């Protein structure tokens, strides 16, 4: 006789996975293609959190996990970690971005102009229930502007720096493999600037929002104004072993700069991520803006927000509490019972007076 049905454990695992998958049915190339086409913002969010830009793989991860976002991101990250690094792309600059949307809240108009681009900001949020009644919802075609906005736009912060409103950031000249990579080395504090920005770029959207919102509501020292928000495409320029530089394609990126007054100037918070995800970059830039000088243990302190917005780590730890903990529980129970017994014993027989 077996002490416990060992095979049972493995069979249970197998069957539980089958149950999970049974509800989703077949995963077909068509399904993956449909997810990719129908949910670009979800794909973007997942790619950003996974630090892996591949729309097909992101769509596949969503299909495979039934849209369980944390699982989808974990799946992509676990895949990413096994991939070789062939090249490190050239840095992208704001001026070089192929810009779809670019707005600033600091000025009515900005050099280069406000470009509304694709957004639901001013839409009335009404469900198109007619679709459920059998009608097809066809978006109205876009009417091109008489004069297209320029594809490339100058940086607002640069204009502010030129006009003495803020101190321009010192350009980091580190290139290639020398750029610290938070997926290949531990995050230590005070964090390297690259590690901070990389961590925010791959942070979980909801987590960044929760802490960024806390800072915006008043648990931070700085009140953000959106200096510049951009949705753009960035050219991935790599160097061929022969030495020629070429574009390997374009990736969607979002970036936000938020400002607050500091003394007689402005200070800047920055965040960027793969894919288009406005909420995330604004919230993340708010945290970056608030990080300097934040007290230890505050939600705006770098260590606090970088640890607690790491989606794969936080979700994994949260669900790990489902694992059996009966050994630790037993150990605590033993200490509790003993303390109780000791207390009862002392109460029964008080120390005799000397």
Of 80, 83, 34, 78, the closest CA to residue 59 belongs to: 34
Binding flag, residue 190, other proteins (CB under 8 A): yes
* CA–CA distance, 228 with 218 (Å, rounded to integer): 22
Residue 103: beta bridge partners?
Answer: 229
Q: How far is the CB of 321 from other proteins (least distance, A)?
A: 8
Residues 192-231: x where in contact with other proteins by CB under 8 A, - otherwise, as a string: ----------------------------------------
Q: Which is nearer to other proteins, 31 or 80 (CB)?
A: 80
Residues 23 and 66: beta-carbon distance below 8 Å? yes
Q: How far is the CB of 77 from other proteins (least distance, A)?
A: 4
Considering only residues 307 through 336, tell me which ones interact with other proteins, judged by CB under 8 A: 307, 312-313, 315-320, 323-336
* CA–CA distance, 101 with 115 (Å, rounded to integer): 5
In the list 109, 188, 242, 244, the residue contacting other proteins (rule: CB under 8 A) is: 188
In the list 33, 151, 168, 339, the residue contacting other proteins (rule: CB under 8 A) is: 339
How far CA 224 is from CA of 217, 262, 288, in Å, comes to 10, 12, 10
Number of Cβ within 10 Å of residue 184's Cβ equals 9
Q: How far is the CB of 264 from other proteins (least distance, A)?
A: 32
Of 216, 226, 224, the closest CA to residue 104 belongs to: 226
Considering only residues 251 through 310, tell me which ones interact with other proteins, judged by CB under 8 A: 296-297, 303, 307
Give the total of residues touching other proteins (CB under 8 A): 60
Q: Which is nearer to other proteins, 13 or 116 (CB)?
A: 13
In the list 62, 187, 229, 234, the residue contacting other proteins (rule: CB under 8 A) is: 187
**Helix 193-201 crosses helix 278-291 at what angle (to 10 degrees)?**
150
Candidates 5-13, 28-36, 255-263, 276-284; binding stretch for other proteins (CB under 8 A): 5-13
Kind and range of the H or E element at 301?
A: none
Binding flag, residue 1, other proteins (CB under 8 A): yes
In the list 13, 33, 169, 179, the residue contacting other proteins (rule: CB under 8 A) is: 13
Of 274, 56, 255, 64, the closest CA to residue 157 belongs to: 255
Q: How far is the CB of 337 from other proteins (least distance, A)?
A: 8
Side-chain-facing half-sphere of 231: CA atoms under 13 Å: 15
Q: How far is the CB of 327 from other proteins (least distance, A)?
A: 4
Q: How far is the CB of 152 from other proteins (least distance, A)?
A: 34
How far CA 177 is from CA of 85, 171, 182, 205, 243, in Å, comes to 10, 17, 12, 28, 17
| Cis ω before 190 (30° cut-off from 0) | yes
Residues 64-103: x where in contact with other proteins by CB under 8 A, - otherwise, as a string: ----------xx-xx-xxx-x-------------------
Q: How far is the CB of 322 from other proteins (least distance, A)?
A: 10
**Torsion-angle region of residue 311: left (phi > 0), alpha (psi -120 to 50) or beta?**
alpha
Strands of 98-103's sheet in order across: 98-103, 225-239, 245-262, 265-274
Residues 197 and 91: beta-carbon distance below 8 Å? no
Q: Which is nearer to other proteins, 56 or 185 (CB)?
A: 185
Residues that bind other proteins (CB under 8 A): 1-6, 8-10, 12-13, 74-75, 77-78, 80-82, 84, 177, 183-190, 296-297, 303, 307, 312-313, 315-320, 323-339, 342-343, 346
């Amino acid at each position: 006789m077996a002490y416990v049905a060992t095979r049972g454990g493995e069979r249970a695992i197998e069957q539980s996975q089958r149950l999970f998958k049974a509800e989703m049915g077949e995963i077909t190339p068509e399904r993956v293609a449909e997810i990719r086409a129908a949910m670009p913002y979800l794909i973007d969010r997942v790619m950003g959190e996974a630090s892996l830009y591949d729309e097909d793989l992101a769509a596949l991860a969503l299909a495979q996990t039934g849209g369980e976002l944390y699982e989808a991101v974990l799946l992509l990250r676990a895949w990413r970690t096994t991939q070789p690094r062939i090249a490190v792309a050239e840095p992208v600059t704001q001026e070089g971005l192929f810009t779809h949307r670019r707005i600033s809240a600091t000025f009515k108009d900005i050099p280069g102009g406000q470009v509304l681009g694709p957004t639901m900001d001013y839409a009335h949020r009404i469900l198109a229930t007619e679709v459920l009644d059998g009608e097809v919802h066809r978006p109205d075609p876009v009417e091109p502007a008489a004069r297209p906005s320029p594809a490339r736009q100058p940086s607002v912060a640069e204009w502010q720096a030129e006009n003495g409103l803020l101190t321009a950031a010192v350009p980091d000249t580190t290139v290639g493999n020398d750029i610290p990579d938070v997926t290949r080395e531990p995050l230590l504090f005070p964090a390297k600037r690259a590690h901070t920005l990389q961590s925010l770029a791959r942070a979980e959207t909801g987590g960044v929002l929760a802490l960024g919102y806390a800072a915006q509501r008043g648990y931070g020292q700085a009140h953000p104004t959106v200096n510049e928000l951009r949705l753009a495409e960035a050219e991935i320029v790599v160097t061929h072993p022969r030495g020629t530089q070429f574009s390997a394609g374009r990736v969607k990126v979002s970036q936000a700069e938020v400002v607050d007054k500091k003394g007689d100037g402005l200070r800047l918070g920055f965040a960027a991520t793969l894919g288009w995800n406005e909420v995330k970059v604004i919230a993340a830039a708010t945290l970056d803006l608030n990080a300097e000088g934040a007290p230890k243990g505050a939600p705006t302190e770098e260590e606090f927000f970088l640890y607690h917005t790491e989606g794969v780590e936080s979700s994994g730890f949260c669900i790990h509490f489902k694992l059996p903990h009966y050994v630790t529980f037993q150990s605590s129970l033993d200490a509790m019972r003993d303390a109780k017994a000791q207390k009862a014993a002392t109460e029964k027989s008080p120390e005799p007076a000397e």
